[in-house]
Each structure stands twice: as structure tokens, then as C-alpha cells.
Amino acid sequence: MFAAPASALELVITDIRTPASTVMAHIDVRDLLPDRFKRLIDDGTAVHLRVEAELWESRPVWDRLVYPSIVRVFRLARAVSGGEIAISDSAGSTRTYPAPPNPMPVALELGNRDRIAGSAKYYVHVMATLGTLAEKDAEEAGDAVFGREADSTGLGAIGRRLFRTVIKVSDYLQSISTETTSKKTQGSDLLKP
């Protein structure tokens, strides 16, 4: 498999298989938390990891997207109990670790195996973004500029909502992203359990 190195965040696609009726992609996220993000977590800020995967069919002219993008979001923060790192999955589970896992394994269900043809070739494209969402800061700054939500109506409320969205987006764009693509694999190999 092919891995594209990044300055602080790296993805490695370790396996693509159909152990049952679903196509699964297994990904290792390496060097998950660079120092600046560790400091944010130590200061009480949550960091979010967004992992997006797509299965493509390799074709002579245009490749075909087999399934819509699958997205999982992980929230990394200090555990309530103390110095551990709590990682909450958008699927609803939370695990705690004494230190950030390296690598952090991620298994994604891409879709039903019925769309895989044994004679075609496929590859997985994975993108990951690690960043902060400054929800509390956006609310406090919006209140300072537009007043409290209870005190304003009409344009003030619209301005506050727009301001918070812009602050959150700009903070999220100050993040680290990376992507990788697996090698092309024969469909008959993907269908093996």
C-alpha cells in the first residue's frame, strides 16, 4: 500500500477487504497530535479529527466513485478523570488512553460488497484533517460584538449567527490535513474474506 507522509499527520491504508457483506478499509493515523495540538488539549481545548474515505473504480478514461464519501469524526480531549486522553467517535463510543495512540487504527465501512466486480480494479482515497473548533470563543466574541442573544432581535441575531460561523470556519481552516491513496487492487482480491 502507498502512504503519503505529512509534516505531523500521516495516513497508512493497511487493508481493504470484505470480511462479510461490507467492504472495510483499515487505516492507521500516525503522528496524531503534533506539539501545538497537545498544548491545546492540555489547556482544555478539544481537537477534532475528520477522516473521509472513498472507494473508486479505476477506469481507462474517468474513474468512478463506487460509494459516497464515508466520514467519521473523532473528538480528542482531556478525560474528566485526569491526565488521560479521551477519544470520542461520531459513532457514539469513547475510549481513554494514557497518551495519544500512535498509530490510531480506524476501520471504515465503505459500503455493500455487491457493487464490487471481480474483473475491475479499485483503490481507496483517504483524507484526514486535524483541527480545533473554537465554539466557546465564537460565542463570547459574538456576544461582545452583537450583544447577548436574549437582548437582540432581527439583524443582531443574524449577525451573531454569521459571525460565529465565520469564526468557527476560520479556526477549523487553521488545521493540518493529509491524504493518501491505496494501490489499485483487483476486485476479486477485495472480495476475498
Q: Check which CATH number belongs to the domain holding 104 and give it.
A: 2.60.40
Residue 61 lies in a domain: yes
Residue 28 lies in a domain: yes
Cell representation of residue 120: 475491475
Residue 35 lies in a domain: yes
For position 158, what pLDDT does the model report?
A: 59
Running DSSP on this structure, what letter comes out for residue 184? P
Answer whether 132's CB lies under 8 Å from 45's CB: yes
pTM as predicted = 0.73
For position 30, what pLDDT does the model report?
A: 92
If one counts the domains in the chain, the total is 1
Residue 193 lies in a domain: no
For position 133, what pLDDT does the model report?
A: 67
Residue 171 lies in a domain: no
For residue 103, cis peptide bond before it (omega within 30 degrees of 0): yes
For position 42, what pLDDT does the model report?
A: 82
For the chain, the maximum distance between any two Cα atoms, rounded to a whole number of angstroms, is 64
The stretches in the chain having pLDDT less than 50 are 1-6, 135-152, 170-173
Residue 146 lies in a domain: no
User: Which tens digit of pLDDT belongs to each residue from 98-147?
Assistant: 888 889 999 999 999 999 999 999 999 999 999 886 544 444 444 444 44
Residue 164 lies in a domain: no
For position 161, what pLDDT does the model report?
A: 60
Residue 43 lies in a domain: yes
Taking the C-alpha atoms of residue 135 and residue 16, their distance in angstroms, rounded to an integer, is 36
SS3 content of the chain, % helix, strand, coil (to 5): 25, 40, 35
Domain region containing 21 = 10-132+176-188
